[in-house]
Structure 1
Amino acid sequence: MIETTTLNTGAKLPLFGLGTWQSKDEAEFKLSLRAALDAGYRLIDTAFVYQNEAFIGEILEEYIQSGKIKREELFITTKLPFTAHSPLDVAKCVELQLKMLRLDYVDLYLIHSPTGFKHQPDSYWPIIEDGLFANDTTPHIETWRELEKLYHSGKLRALGVSNFSAKQLQALYDAAEVKPTNLQVELHIYWPQEELRTLCNKLNMTLTAYAPLGSPGRKSSRPDGDWPEGDPLLEPIVTKLAEKYHKSAAQILLRHATQKGISVIPKSTNPKRIVENISIFDFKLSPEDMEELSGGIKNHIRLFLHEYSAHHPFYPLDDVDTSKLEKVVLHI
């Protein structure tokens, strides 16, 4: 049984789900999504920029119409692309996403990034100027007001943000009528996000961790990007506990996060690994082992620098020296 945490709307957010970033191969992805649904996954996390919402919609419709799954059993999270922050674009983009997902509503909708960019006239593909995305500095609250309208219409059952800093999150929260209920950020044993965890607890918000395993395949998204080195799966503490509990290193890392009440969305297209990843609710790490995992890691590093947006005035990573980052265009 997958454990849950409660949103400020009263809805239950599963503490475990399927991440779908980089899942673009249609045949492979549909196979893996079916394997996940058959294994008990009910939280599916996607985004407009992942370019797979249409694949997900086809499989969800197949399972719902066949009676294998009821819509109310699913928890679907998707995100507003950074090229649709303009108030004129929000509703149009959401409608397009609902059409691709073949759904009347999504359970959780996030602003994907605090950094907005201008899009081309005939698509949501970003405009590139001097080799960089052209900035859109629409205030977050103006984008949020449009999402609030869609929340009140019932098309978006809960709202949140992704990749926001603590300062940005607090400012949005203070100005919002419909309070954000979830923050999705990079979070793993190298980067535990203690400041944001504390703020989310204060604001009665839930937290979702992307890259809880360190995202081993992250570099393939931008081979020319700035990628700090690190692999949580190979940490000695993790491998030691995997042997102790007769679990995989991935299962130890995922259980560590979920025992803290953090929702995790590891990505995999390997059916065997998909089943393995979800099999974490039949054991618990001892308090001593939880503490060792939380405090025994010497490497405190981000693995995602989002350097493609480092030129934006809303770039959220205050601890990163942007002058040392290569300015590259995101390959989406």
Structure 2
Amino acid sequence: MTSSVAVKRVPLGSQGMEVSALGLGCMSMTSYYGPPKEEEEMVKLIHHAVGLGVTLLDTADIYGPHTNEILVGKAIKGIREKVQIATKFGIGSNPGGNGRAIRGDPEYVRACCEGSLKRLGVDCIDLYYQHRVDTSVPIEITVGELKKLVAEGKVKYVGLSEASASEIRRAHAVHPITAVQIEWSLWVRDVENDIIPTCRELGIGIVPYSPLGRGFFAGNIKAEDLAEGDFRKREVSFFQGDNLAKNQILLKRVAKIAEEKKCTTSQLALAWVIHKGAGKAVPIPGTTKIANLESNIASLGVKLTEEDIKALEDAVPPEEVAGERYTAQMLSFGWQNAKTPPLSSWKGSV
């Protein structure tokens, strides 16, 4: 299914931010899914996306690290007024270079913001996310510093990524949270239990990342198709061992429904997220190919009935999905349902 579907502008959250109904995740252009792609081609891709109406560009300082923000910064020169830039802070390297560290202390927040502004070549970040919750710093302290950056004009809107419902509430009480970024797809649906209802209650926009299951619902991915350096091979257990083969059974069921709907599996999976978002969610599928970008946009034109939704959810029941969205080691890193200490425990400066 190909289409010249118009990409409408929609509100994201209730704080006044307006973005394209579909965003573009830029991570894979420089990191995580194999070697970095040709810079000139990725700039062309971003320009093509903007030309088609996709204006929400998602990046982060850890992507590369730093190279993704630099790429996006180059791509938006001359078209800054046409795009909304979302970037993130909070995941860095340990001082000794051994693994990752999550930080949310005020000094780090400010330093990260200054670095991102410089790499992106902008005066203000449209949407600035805390990438992961720091379990050693009360979230009120982190968001308090973000509030200062908003007052200074360096950040326009504040977001959270992978925060629990309680963290979202605590953060929102300090400064309005415009959007929460979560992994949400046909095979990751636990966020529907409390995080999504909390966001809807508070008027917070939802930004689903990996809405195509990290590319799984885009086609028949085989283990040997994943390039060396592709983090799915080492950090996403859906794709490891026998799990990938078991999950292919679920994909065949989705493919059958897609055939009936006269669209691709990726368009169907993305349309499911869009439909479930009920106008309150803006997915950010990533791609490095113009054909895939156009296919993703066409998903905005796929109409689903309640019967279609039920059929899709029956085709991919959570209990039959093999594996987890991260390995046990990654999950132990504190990326799920992180709990920050109470504000009363904070001994640092505010």
- TM band (smaller chain): 0.7 to 0.9
Specify which of 2, 22, 26 is matched with residue 7 of structure 2.
2
1:309 deviates by 6.4
Q: Deviations over 1:221-279 (max 9, x none)?
A: 26433523355896244212321222111111111111223211111101111111112
1:13 aligned residue? 19
- Per the alignment, do residues 181 and 265 of structure 1 end up closer, same or farther by CA in structure 2, a change over 3 Å counting? same
CA distance in 1, matches of 2:300, 2:83: 19
Say whether the 8 Å CA contact 2:20–2:53 is kept in structure 1.
no
Specify which of 299, 302, 316 is matched with residue 336 of structure 2.
316
Q: Deviations over 1:283-317 (max 9, x none)?
A: 311221123223442234542358346255xx434
Specify which of 83, 86, 92 is matched with residue 77 of structure 1.
86
Specify which of 321, 326, 339 is matched with residue 304 of structure 1.
326
Question: What SS does the aligned partner of 1:85 have?
Answer: coil
The count of aligned residue pairs is 287
CA distance in 2, matches of 1:85, 1:55: 25
Are 2:165 and 1:166 aligned?
Answer: yes
Say whether the 8 Å CA contact 1:233–1:250 is kept in structure 2.
no
1:107 aligned residue? 126
- Per the alignment, do residues 7 and 317 of structure 1 end up closer, same or farther by CA in structure 2, a change over 3 Å counting? closer
Question: What SS does the aligned partner of 1:293 have?
Answer: helix
- Whichever residue aligns with residue 2 of structure 1, its letter is V
Are 2:199 and 1:179 aligned?
Answer: no
1:273 aligned residue? 292
2:72 aligned residue? 56
User: Unaligned stretches of 5+ in structure 2?
Assistant: 1-5, 31-35, 93-102, 216-225, 339-350
Alignment of 1:91-170 (within 5 A): 91-115=110-134, 137-170=136-169
Greater CA deviation, 28-37 or 283-292?
28-37
Say whether the 8 Å CA contact 1:17–1:41 is kept in structure 2.
yes
1:128 aligned residue? none
Say whether the 8 Å CA contact 2:130–2:160 is kept in structure 1.
yes
1:239 aligned residue? 255
Alignment RMSD, CA only? 2.6
- Whichever residue aligns with residue 290 of structure 2, its letter is P
Say whether the 8 Å CA contact 2:20–2:54 is kept in structure 1.
no
TM score, norm. by length of structure 2: 0.74
TM score, norm. by length of structure 1: 0.78
Say whether the 8 Å CA contact 1:233–1:239 is kept in structure 2.
no
- Whichever residue aligns with residue 150 of structure 1, its letter is L
CA distance in 1, matches of 2:248, 2:20: 23
- Per the alignment, do residues 85 and 232 of structure 1 end up closer, same or farther by CA in structure 2, a change over 3 Å counting? farther
- Per the alignment, do residues 40 and 6 of structure 1 end up closer, same or farther by CA in structure 2, a change over 3 Å counting? closer
Question: What SS does the aligned partner of 2:76 have?
Answer: helix
User: Unaligned stretches of 5+ in structure 1?
Assistant: 65-69, 117-136, 319-332
CA distance in 2, matches of 1:204, 1:194: 16
Specify which of 227, 252, 269 is matched with residue 253 of structure 1.
269
1:161 deviates by 0.5
Question: What SS does the aligned partner of 2:234 have?
Answer: coil
Specify which of 174, 182, 189 is matched with residue 186 of structure 2.
189
- Per the alignment, do residues 298 and 308 of structure 1 end up closer, same or farther by CA in structure 2, a change over 3 Å counting? closer
